[in-house]
Amino acid sequence: MKAKQERITVLLEKYWQAETTVEEEKELAEYFRGPGVPPEWESYRELFSFFEEKAQIKPSPELEGRIMESIRPRHHMVWWAAAAAIVLMLGLEPLFRHAPERVHVEQPGLVMTDTYDDPEQALAAVQKALFTVSKKMNKGLHPIK
């Protein structure tokens, strides 16, 4: 009896750390359904019987049918979407096959220079541009008065 309680103590510690296997949880459930559970563990009896009772609950055939009907159309929609994607790819394939290749041509005498010599001025110009864009984009967030 003492060895059994020691085993259950170890299993309970593992259970509360979420480290038990399904078999160990079944062992705990069987123990707490049986006789001889110490009074300090009586609350665990309710816990393990609750999970077992809830596992036995099954939906009514009517509810299960409604659930299955709501799932089926989505299943067919996936196939339609996949078929549409394949047709689209096959239709666009000739456009990509005949597209001209981009060739990098170096032009002698073409020199790229920075607009600003001072990095602080460049940063200020970028911040100003981003602020202006942000202000204009945020207009849509406020209701029209």
Span 70-127, pLDDT tens digits? 766 555 667 778 888 888 888 877 776 765 565 556 677 766 677 888 889 999 999 9
Least confident of 15-19, 87-91, 110-114, 141-145: 141-145
**Taking a C-beta distance cutoff of 8 angstroms, is the pair 10, 27 a contact?**
no
Find the angle CA(63)-CA(65)-CA(68) to the nearest 5 degrees: 110
The contacts of residue 125 (CB under 8 Å, 6+ apart) are 115, 116
**Taking a C-beta distance cutoff of 8 angstroms, is the pair 38, 54 a contact?**
no
> Which amino acid is residue 87, in one-letter code?
V
> Which amino acid is residue 74, in one-letter code?
R
Task: Write down the mean pLDDT value for the chain.
Answer: 77
Place of tokens 């359904």: 33
Tell me the percentage of the chain whose pLDDT exceeds 90. Answer: 6
